[in-house]
Amino acid sequence: MGKTPTFSKSDLIDQVAAKTGFAKTNVKDMIDAALAEITARAEAGAKVTLMGFGSFEQRQKKARMGRNPATGETVEIPASAHLAFKPAKPKKS
C-alpha cells in the first residue's frame, strides 16, 4: 500500500499564487491572516462558517481520568479546549 499524499500549507500557497498571479509572499500573508482571524474568532466563542467549505468552533473536553503508560499510574487529565472543524456537506449533483 502506498503512502497517502499530503498537501501542505506551502503547497496551498504555491497553488493559490499560480492561479491568482499574486506573489507567494502576498498569498502567504493572506492565508496567515485568514487562519489567524478564524482562530481568534473561534477562540472568542464564535462559530466561523465558510459556506461550501465547513465550520470552525471551539469545543471543550471535560476532565477525565487516564493512565500513565510507563508506570500504569492513574492520573487526571485536565479539561481543555480545542479548535474543531466540521466539513460542509457535499453538493448534490
Q: What is the pLDDT of residues 57-79, one digit of tens each?
A: 999 999 999 999 999 999 999 99
Tell me the pLDDT band of 31, cut-offs 50, 70 and 90.
very high
For residues 44-64, give the mean pLDDT.
94
Tell me the pLDDT band of 39, cut-offs 50, 70 and 90.
very high
Collapsed DSSP state (helix, strand, coil) of residue 6: coil
Whether CATH 3.40.50.300 fits 9-87: no
The residue extents of the domains of the chain are 9-87
The CA distances from residue 32 to 8, 36, 50, 86, in Å, are 13, 6, 16, 20
pTM of the model as a whole: 0.73
pLDDT attached to residue 92:
77
Distance, CA of 39 to CA of 57 (rounded, Å): 9
